[in-house]
């Protein structure tokens, strides 16, 4: 039986944890997987409950952190090398930047037959200044050379890696879209909408724009707030913005809301609030059906999980057209994609969604099944299994 050492950055709430957990679960029993990663950091929500809900075993790498720290990173390299020598994997598959650097170096130093890496996003745009970005690009080019394959989670991301940032040749990049267990979203209906609004004390007659994501610079919530403020002034009924998540920019966004003349509430909804910052909600299917629109304002995205979940729930989408966003929109699904940094365009999209809410809701309902099929966990596992078999056959390691 082939053995896989799967390494992820951190077990924080987001797409990478779902990816590594579902691959570990759905590739068994053909593959034996050892899943390892770091704990979530302050301002993030732990995703370990996802692993426990799926019955997936995992180990914590205590020394691995998000930031570059030479001493700790050398410690982590040593820990991973010891894991490799004990577990003797045929494949080391890394996910996201820090795990990708440490894991691939350790795998090559230990002579692992197959080494590959998945980009769940990248830090080449929207994160750092020119000098630091250039350093990261050069590091990723070196790591790509010592990898047998690179996995992109969307065609747009592959184009960025190959054509824009020139990380590696196209022949080395394989597109494997993310997959999820979407049944809990596909079954949401009008009764769930009523229950969600009741549970979170949201007004039943309001037009609710929702957003799910960490309150961090890359998510660009300032654009969302400004766009909402403009749209709210021109919407005849009551409009409410619900922001699910938390992070270092919470107070900055609350101050911006006040400057825009918007009243806000945090964790406990208040009747007079225009914006409700809920904090982290582990099971987003509890609040998702309350939304009339799912919004995303990011500067950069790999495969935005919130947009996939919204489509499965039949909720129209307004998003900046960045990264792999266009690739996750099912053809024919009601979605307005706007330029990043254009609050007027996003505001117009919100007003369009409000004016044609029933038509868009009906159109969205017709595409739910297609979303479930396109982003299923079974399809994800099948695609990755095929790639593993191809790479193993090329190297022909002894089982």
DSSP state letters, 297-362: --S--SS-HHHHHHHHTT--EEEE--TTHHHHSPTT--EEEE-TT-HHHHHHHHHHHHHTHHHHHH
Beta carbons of 194 and 171 less than 8 angstroms apart:
no
Give the pLDDT score at 15. Answer: 76
Beta carbons of 225 and 253 less than 8 angstroms apart:
yes
For domain 183-374, the question of CATH label 3.20.20.80 is answered with no
Rounded CA gap, 178 and 183, in Å?
15
| 72: number of Cβ within 10 Å | 14
Give the pLDDT score at 124. Answer: 61
The domain spans of the chain are 3-181+376-395, 183-374
Give the burial string for 277-311 (b: 16+ CB within 10 Å, else e).
bbebbeebbebbbbbbbbbbbbbbbbbbbbbbbbb
Kind plus residue range of the DSSP H or E element containing 251: helix 250-259
- Do 3-181+376-395 and 183-374 fold alike per CATH? yes
DSSP per-residue string spanning 168-213: S-GGGEEE----B--HHHHT--HHHHHHHHHHTT--TTSEEEEEES
Residues sharing a CB contact under 8 Å with residue 155, sequence separation 6 or more, in sequence order: 175, 324, 327
Beta carbons of 296 and 304 less than 8 angstroms apart:
yes
Rounded CA gap, 9 and 279, in Å?
23
Give the pLDDT score at 70. Answer: 78
For the whole model, what pTM was predicted?
0.86
List the structure tokens of 222: 């300032």
List the structure tokens of 150: 């690179």
DSSP per-residue string spanning 202-238: --TTSEEEEEES--SGGG-HHHHHHHHHHHHTT-SS-
Place of tokens 């399809």: 379
Helix 343-355 / helix 221-232 crossing angle, nearest 10 deg: 50
Give the pLDDT score at 67. Answer: 67
Radius of gyration of the chain (CA): 21
Rounded CA gap, 41 and 24, in Å?
23
Residues sharing a CB contact under 8 Å with residue 101, sequence separation 6 or more, in sequence order: 73, 139, 143
Give the pLDDT score at 235. Answer: 92
Give the pLDDT score at 27. Answer: 97
Please name which of 26, 6, 15 lies closest in space to residue 377, comparing C-alpha atoms. Answer: 26
Kindly tell me the sign of the dihedral angle through the C-alpha atoms of 95, 99, 100, 105: negative
Give 10-residue mean pLDDT values along the chain (399 residues): 94 86 96 94 85 94 76 90 97 93 96 95 62 84 97 91 94 95 94 97 97 94 98 93 96 98 97 96 96 96 91 98 92 96 96 97 97 96 97 76
- Given the candidates 3.90.1720.10, 1.10.1840.10, 3.30.160.60, 3.40.50.2000, the CATH classification of the domain at 3-181+376-395 is 3.40.50.2000
Residues sharing a CB contact under 8 Å with residue 322, sequence separation 6 or more, in sequence order: 298, 299, 300, 301, 340
């Amino acid at each position: 039986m082939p053995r896989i050492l799967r390494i992820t950055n951190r077990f924080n709430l987001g797409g990478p944890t779902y990816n590594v957990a579902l691959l570990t679960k759905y590739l068994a029993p053909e593959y034996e997987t050892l899943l390892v990663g770091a704990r979530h950091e302050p301002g993030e929500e732990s995703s370990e409950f996802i692993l426990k809900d799926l019955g997936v075993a995992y180990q914590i790498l205590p020394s691995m952190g998000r930031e570059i720290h030479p001493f700790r990173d050398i410690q982590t390299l040593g820990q991973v090398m010891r894991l490799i020598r004990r577990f003797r994997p045929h494949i080391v598959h890394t996910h996201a930047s820090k795990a990708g650097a440490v894991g691939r170096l350790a795998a090559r130093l230990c002579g692992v037959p197959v080494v590959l890496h998945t980009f769940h996003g990248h830090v080449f745009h929207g994160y750092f200044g020119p000098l630091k970005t250039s350093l990261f690009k050069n590091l990723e080019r070196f790591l790509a050379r010592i990898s047998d394959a690179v996995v992109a989670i969307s065609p747009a991301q592959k184009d960025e890696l190959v054509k824009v940032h020139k990380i590696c040749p196209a022949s080395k990049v394989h597109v494997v879209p993310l997959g999820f267990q979407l049944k809990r979203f596909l079954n949401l209906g009008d009764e769930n909408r009523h229950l969600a609004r009741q549970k979170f004390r949201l007004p039943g007659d309001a037009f609710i724009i929702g957003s799910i994501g960490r309150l961090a610079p890359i998510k660009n919530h300032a654009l969302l707030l400004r766009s909402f403020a403009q749209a709210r002034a021109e919407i005849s009924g009551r409009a409410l913005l619900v922001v699910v998540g938390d992070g270092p920019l919470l107070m900055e966004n609350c101050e911006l809301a006040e400057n825009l003349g918007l009243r806000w509430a945090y964790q406990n909804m208040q009747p007079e609030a225009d914006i409700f910052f809920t904090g982290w909600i582990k099971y987003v299917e509890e609040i998702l059906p309350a939304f009339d629109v799912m919004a995303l304002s990011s500067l950069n995205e790999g495969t935005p999980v919130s947009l996939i979940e919204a489509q499965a729930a039949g909720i129209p989408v307004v998003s900046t057209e960045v990264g792999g966003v266009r690739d996750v929109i099912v053809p024919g699904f009601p979605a307005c994609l706007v330029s990043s940094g254009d609050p007027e365009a996003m505001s117009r999209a919100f007003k369009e969604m409000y004016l044609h809410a029933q038509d868009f809701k009906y159109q969205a309902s017709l595409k739910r099944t297609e979303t479930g099929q396109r982003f299923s966990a079974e399809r994800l596992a099948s695609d990755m299994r095929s790639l593993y078999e191809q790479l193993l056959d090329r190297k022909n390691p002894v089982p």
